[in-house]
Amino acid sequence: MTKNSIGSIFFLAFSSFYFFNVFSIKKMPGSQFEVMTASTFPFYIGLGGIIISILILILSFVKKDNDFLTMNYLKNLDFKTTISFVLAMIFYGFTIRPLGFIISTMIFLGIGFLLLKEKNIKRILLISCGVSVGFYLLLNNVLGVYIDPGLIYEYFAGDQS
């Protein structure tokens, strides 16, 4: 099997798992008639991943390239960075509720830039702050998707439910 076919099979498995778990996302009461719900974006991401991975799989069999998976290729892969990114994603998943979306996203993006060996600290801070605040404002104010500010915000601002 070629590298493209093996990669597309893994991507197909991941996208299928992601897509079928979208249906277990709970919807708010009365949101069945809304255009945008909590499962809308994940639904299309999973569906797009399945379609793209099937296309890559078909093209890898049609093209018939000789780019086979070898041990030399596997030795040159950077598994340390990959495992570090997986650990950063797990950390992000555990910190998004207590720290909130903005702070945990800034930390995750900063860690990601450092793992990719970005040296400019100003650039790291500017991009991670800008992306997380901009994405929060886009989701919250433009698209109307509520994002919980986190337990740290509720602690400092007071619980005003």
85 in the same domain as 62: no
146 in the same domain as 125: yes
How many angstroms separate the CA atoms of 9 and 22, rounded? 20
**131 in any annotated domain:** yes
59 in the same domain as 9: yes
List, for residues 64-115, the tens digit of each pLDDT value: 666 666 777 777 777 888 899 999 999 999 999 899 889 999 999 999 999 9
Domain that includes residue 136, residue range: 78-161
How many angstroms separate the CA atoms of 88 and 109, rounded? 9
Contacts of 4 (CB under 8 A, 6+ apart): 56, 57, 59, 60, 65, 67
131 in the same domain as 97: yes
**159 in any annotated domain:** yes
**What's the confidence (pLDDT) of residue 1?**
65
- CA within 13 Å, CB half, 142: 7
123 in the same domain as 62: no
115 in the same domain as 92: yes
Point out the least confidently predicted range of 36-50, 55-69, 127-141, 142-156. 55-69
**49 in any annotated domain:** yes
List, for residues 33-60, the tens digit of each pLDDT value: 777 777 888 899 999 999 999 998 888 7
Q: Between vectors from CA 115 to CA 113 and to CA 118, what angle results, nearest 5°?
A: 45
**29 in any annotated domain:** no
